[in-house]
Structure 1
Amino acid sequence: MELGRLGVWYSTDKLDGPGLMALARRVEGLGYGTLWYPESRGYESFSLAAHLLASTTRLRVGSSIANIYARDAFTARRGLATLNALHCGRFILGLGVSHIPMVEGVRGHRYDKPVPAMRTYLDGIQADTQEDWPVLLAALGPKMLELAAKRSHGAVPYNVTPEHTAQAAAILGPGKVLAVEQKVCVETDKSKARALGRAELARYMTLPNYVNNWLRLGFTEEELKDGGNDRFIDAMVLSGDAATVKAGLQRHFAAGATHLAIQPVHAQGDVAARDAMLAALADL
């Protein structure tokens, strides 16, 4: 699974069709290896992947993540096979268990225990075939990371620190993909960067999967109150000039990341700022 050294993670629900095409072509043109996107309340994951793949010629496209409660395992397997057959093997299926509000509140399903639910889903994808499917798991805790090591090509952690990257690399072991997402804001005004960071992180602060992982990483409940204190925000959103941000990104590689997906954090609709950040960091 060749992802390239650097990729881009972006909240694609913010964009319309032409905007998505422009983003994908911009990412490809700057030399990034992979474009990652989520599945939340907007675009359906596999349909969106088809649009992004059709908009580019070399760029790999990865779901980060496709929600296992959004489609059964057989459908995911056929979607994975179809996209790769039609687009020269450029699609990577990142799978995740999502979060209780998204699964029970939005989709109306029952949220099962994460690791057994993912194991059963992988059984369905991998059943009756020797195909080496390009699958990664959204893994934060040690048990899901262990499952990723045994049953997939690796992991796509989100909202993590270099300390988590080191732990994940140790659990995954050699030969596995560790594609880490990291938010960035190329902005030297620290107060402005932190305000943008808090706005971006707000939707994650009430989700137990992330909160529990932050507590495991050593942040305290006090530090996570009221949108997060400065130490927490600075860890989640690397900010400063381009050289400072690059130095922070390098810490993930030093900790064992095999691929880094940078997520530009900017004011709503400020595509120019997004593209400027991507250009400034493309030569890491």
Structure 2
Amino acid sequence: MAHISLWGGAPWQDPARVSEAREVAAEVEELGYHRLWFSGGFGDGVLPAFGELLAGTRTLGVASGIVSIWTATPEQSATAFEELEAAHPGRFVLGLGNSHAPAVEGQGARYEKPFTRTVEYLDALAAQPRAVPADRLVLAALGPRMLELARERTAGAHPYFVTVEHTAFAREALGSGPLLAPEVGVVLETDPDQARATARDHMEMYLQLPNYTNNLRRFGWGDDDLLGGGSDRLVDALIPWGSVEDVAAGVQRHVDAGADEVAVQVLGGGGDFPRQDFRTLAAALIDA
């Protein structure tokens, strides 16, 4: 049976909201979610927020989705993992990714040979005095080569901003053993115009990033689909929306396509923690 997790962004990272984030994480744990994924951001090293949320919960898994290999050194990642593992054994998964050229170059680095850099990063991580075990690592893999690397060197893949067709493709590329945990954005809104507007607010930035658009093109999406925040057809393929039953069915399609775990990202919260939506979705998605 697939696990249902949550994926979150800025509110979980904010140092000014640590107390609130810990309170919400404790409720997420009580609701039965398997794991909490959230972005490692683009600052130096590994965010303290991962440790804060582990400390505020008892059994909830926490994972980085992702720590950028351009902003956290292998030494920093290994040290952070060692400290989190010592304090909270078995609960933290280190998700790594090669990010995107605009983000990396915006910080003054050159975005060159991301696949080669990922291989070199994994080699350096494995050479640390306290290496991160491969079964506690995942990669933000989209294309065939990165999925193969995830299969060979880590526990599996955490694809972001993908359709059900990609989930099926990734399952085939990974084989039956490795973890496949796609992020899936959802909108609990039954009005089509409002739901799609919320989805497009989320999608617009990602449709400007070549890693994502190239991946969508791999599955037949064209220029008309990628402009203006996405065609209706693309919105509907990427972002399950509607009633809770509609959203649950959209998540289930990823499970049916081979996902072991789905990291559900609730959209439209306006930068806040959408706690009621977490509760509503838990009742529909998580077996009692």
CA distance in 1, matches of 2:201, 2:126: 39
The 10-residue stretch of structure 1 (234-243 or 147-156) with the greater mean CA deviation from structure 2: 234-243
The 10-residue stretch of structure 1 (266-275 or 31-40) with the greater mean CA deviation from structure 2: 266-275
CA distance in 2, matches of 1:274, 1:42: 29
Q: CA deviation at 1:132?
A: 2.7
Q: CA deviation at 1:234?
A: 1.1
- CA 1:240 to 1:43, structure 2 compared with 1: closer, same or farther past 3 Å? farther
| Alignment correspondent of 2:9 | 11
| Alignment correspondent of 2:286 | 283
| Alignment correspondent of 2:119 | 119
Q: CA deviation at 1:255?
A: 1.0
- CA 1:168 to 1:74, structure 2 compared with 1: closer, same or farther past 3 Å? same
* 1:207 correspondence with 2:213: no
| Alignment correspondent of 1:58 | 59
Q: CA deviation at 1:42?
A: 6.8
| Alignment correspondent of 2:86 | 85
What letter is aligned with 2:99?
Answer: S
- CA 1:131 to 1:55, structure 2 compared with 1: closer, same or farther past 3 Å? closer
Q: CA deviation at 1:12?
A: 3.1
Percent identity (aligned): 41
Q: What is the root-mean-square deviation of aligned Cα atoms in Å?
A: 2.1
Q: CA deviation at 1:245?
A: 1.3
Unpaired segments ≥5 residues, structure 2? none
> Are 1:196 and 1:267, in contact at CA under 8 Å, matched by a contact in 2?
no
What letter is aligned with 1:101?
Answer: P
The 10-residue stretch of structure 1 (115-124 or 38-47) with the greater mean CA deviation from structure 2: 38-47
- CA 1:90 to 1:4, structure 2 compared with 1: closer, same or farther past 3 Å? farther
Q: CA deviation at 1:123?
A: 0.2
Q: CA deviation at 1:216?
A: 0.8
- Give the structure-2-normalised TM-score: 0.91
- CA 1:73 to 1:41, structure 2 compared with 1: closer, same or farther past 3 Å? closer
CA distance in 2, matches of 1:164, 1:178: 11
| Alignment correspondent of 1:186 | 188
CA distance in 1, matches of 2:42, 2:72: 14
Cα offsets for 1:37-75 (capped at 9, x unmatched): 013357964311111111111000000000011121122
Greater than 4 Å deviation, 4+ residue runs: 41-44, 128-131
Within 5 Å, which residues of 2 pair with 1:85-234?
85-106=86-107, 108-127=108-127, 132-133=133-134, 134-234=136-236
Partner SS, residue 94 of structure 1: strand
The 10-residue stretch of structure 1 (234-243 or 135-144) with the greater mean CA deviation from structure 2: 234-243
> Are 1:266 and 1:274, in contact at CA under 8 Å, matched by a contact in 2?
no
What letter is aligned with 1:191?
Answer: D
Within 5 Å, which residues of 2 pair with 1:230-245?
230-245=232-247
Partner SS, residue 264 of structure 2: strand
> Are 1:137 and 1:148, in contact at CA under 8 Å, matched by a contact in 2?
yes
> Are 1:188 and 1:240, in contact at CA under 8 Å, matched by a contact in 2?
yes
